[in-house]
Amino acid sequence: MRLAARIAGAFLLAAGVLYLGYGVDRTDFHSLFGACTLAFLGYLLVIWRPLGTPLRYWIGLGIALRLLLVFAFPLLSDDVYRFIWDGRLVVSGHNPFAHLPAYYLEPGQGVEGLGQALFNRLNSPDYYTIYPPIAQGVFTLAAWISPTSWYGAAVVMKSVLFLAELGSLLLLYRLLLTFHLPPERLLYYWLNPLIIVEIVGNLHFEGAMVCFLLWSLHLLTTSNYAGAAGAMALSVASKLLPLMLLPFLLKRLWGRPFWTFFGGVAAVTGLLFLPLLVGSGFVEGFGGSLELYFRKFEFNASVYYLLRAYGYYELGWNQIARFGPVLAQVAAGIILIVALSDNRTDWRSLPGLWLAAFVIYLLCATTVHPWYLAVPIVLCIFTSWHFPLLWSFLIMLTYTSYVTEPYQENLVLVGVEYTLVAGYYLWERGRRSVPA
């Protein structure tokens, strides 16, 4: 009976994921969320109880679904067009941080492959690019291999993320054995519909960040501090967020490993960013985009939306420029306090602390897209917390925002999302003592 339920779960998971990859438009929320529900139901049927079949079969299912999505053009995200734009700029010898996209449509400034059709599909044409060097390297590779085809470039980028996911799979297996945890826990990440659809399906570089972060953690557990530093730098160069995890390593690496690791992270990160510093515009463009991220962008927030409501009540207008940076500082302060107040020096407790840091960051963020949950989902594997898995389903409610143009959020659904996640977290906390 249990095997039959798992087989049914596999079919439901595959049907939901493939429909999300090939058959749905993000403006059709009912079909989209129906497919999400189907996929998550299948996921739950597979992971709910200890496996009665070999783990390799379920690993194979995750590989097959990702491989199939490599050849699906992203349907739920339009970030791919900015990736192609940046890649074609670099291939043509231009710094993608130097100018806004509209600059290259001006007379005499044209770049081959950057025309009005591609410009019209950019979701943030009025902002400088914000993607760090590892991502830019993949964009460039895609533009070099497929200089004229959007689809071809997307397949190249997806192939890189597919390889990164395979790396994460191997590292998860090794880390679970190192921490004496059941290997089947890796399915929490490996078969999670959000992970499959958002990383390989919709081309989000959280997949690369996760792979390098796990690699760094694995090397730390083997006392390879120089290698761990290089892997952490690669994670930072994929997405900047792993920087907030470094304070948790201060006490664990105090002494000689401290200088090896932190010096290595600084050196390798500097080398990775160095090509982007060639010419002018990086500091202004990249720094300006980061500042705008905290001062202007808002989507699916929690604490910030409460403060925003208070701001409307207090002054009558949106005060994101005031509250966004303050919340970022609050998150950084809380994370630092949590890191410095922890006196443990073992590696087993580190994933739980990193999970806490990411959750603190997300609760204070003004923008929380579904793919931002990749790190909490992978880290919860090493803990007894399951609320990130529930969150990975409920956050798909945010796709209701794309039904209208321009997008408009349903704040009732945002409230449902965070209320249920918070409630489940409190239930987990009260039900048993959960190790950090």
Question: Is 434's pLDDT higher than 50?
Answer: no
Quick one: pLDDT at residue 292?
A: 64
Q: Which of 18-32, 204-218, 312-326, 400-414 has the lowest mean pLDDT?
A: 312-326
Q: Would you kindly state where each structural domain of the chain is located, as residue ranges?
A: 2-77+153-276+299-431, 79-152
Query: Mean pLDDT over all residues of the chain?
Result: 92
Quick one: pLDDT at residue 436?
A: 45
- Per-residue pLDDT tens digits for 409-433: 999 999 999 999 999 999 999 886 5
Quick one: pLDDT at residue 181?
A: 96
- Per-residue pLDDT tens digits for 177-206: 999 999 999 999 999 999 999 999 999 999
Question: Is 321's pLDDT higher than 90?
Answer: no
- Name the nearest CA neighbour of 42 among 58, 56, 22, 30: 58
Look up residue 338 and give its two tokens: 């949590």
Give the residues across from 299 on adjacent strands. Answer: 367
Q: State the burial class of residue 174 (Cβ atoms within 10 Å of its Cβ: 0-12, 13-18, 19+).
A: middle
C-alpha 99 chain-centroid distance: 26
- Per-residue pLDDT tens digits for 101-159: 999 999 888 899 999 999 999 988 888 888 999 999 999 999 999 999 999 999 999 99
Confidence class for position 219, pLDDT limits 50, 70, 90: very high
Confidence class for position 278, pLDDT limits 50, 70, 90: low
* 400 contacts 33 by C-beta, under 8 angstroms: yes
- For residue 408, give the 3-state DSSP assignment: coil
Confidence class for position 271, pLDDT limits 50, 70, 90: very high
> Is the backbone of residue 143 left (phi > 0), alpha (psi -120 to 50) or beta?
alpha
Quick one: pLDDT at residue 241?
A: 94
- For residue 299, give the 3-state DSSP assignment: strand
Quickly tell me which residue has 């791919």 as its tokens. 80
Quick one: pLDDT at residue 378?
A: 98
What is the rounded average pLDDT of the residues 263-268?
A: 96
- Per-residue pLDDT tens digits for 339-357: 999 999 999 999 999 999 9
Question: Is 176's pLDDT higher than 90?
Answer: yes
Quick one: pLDDT at residue 3?
A: 80
For residue 322, the surrounding DSSP H or E stretch is helix 320-341
Look up residue 410 and give its two tokens: 């349903």
Phi, psi dihedral angles at 187 (to 5 degrees): -70, -20
Quick one: pLDDT at residue 5?
A: 86
Quick one: pLDDT at residue 294?
A: 65
* 197 contacts 20 by C-beta, under 8 angstroms: yes
Query: What residue type is assigned to position 101 of the chain?
Result: P
Confidence class for position 276, pLDDT limits 50, 70, 90: confident
* 76 contacts 202 by C-beta, under 8 angstroms: yes
Residue 190 CB neighbours (<10 A): 26
Quick one: pLDDT at residue 211?
A: 98
* 289 contacts 305 by C-beta, under 8 angstroms: no
Highest mean pLDDT among 44-58, 187-201, 264-278: 187-201
- Name the nearest CA neighbour of 113 among 135, 72, 83, 78: 83
Quick one: pLDDT at residue 287?
A: 66
Full-model pTM:
0.94
Question: What is the C-alpha to C-alpha distance for residues 291 and 313, in angstroms, rounded to an integer?
Answer: 25
For residue 50, whether the previous peptide bond is cis, meaning omega lies within 30 degrees of 0, is no
- Per-residue pLDDT tens digits for 369-378: 999 999 999 9
Alpha carbon separation from 265 to 231, 249, 258, 272, 277 (Å, rounded): 8, 12, 11, 11, 18
Per-residue b or e along 120-141, where b marks 16 or more CB atoms closer than 10 Å to that residue's CB:
eebebeebbbbbbbbbbbbbbb
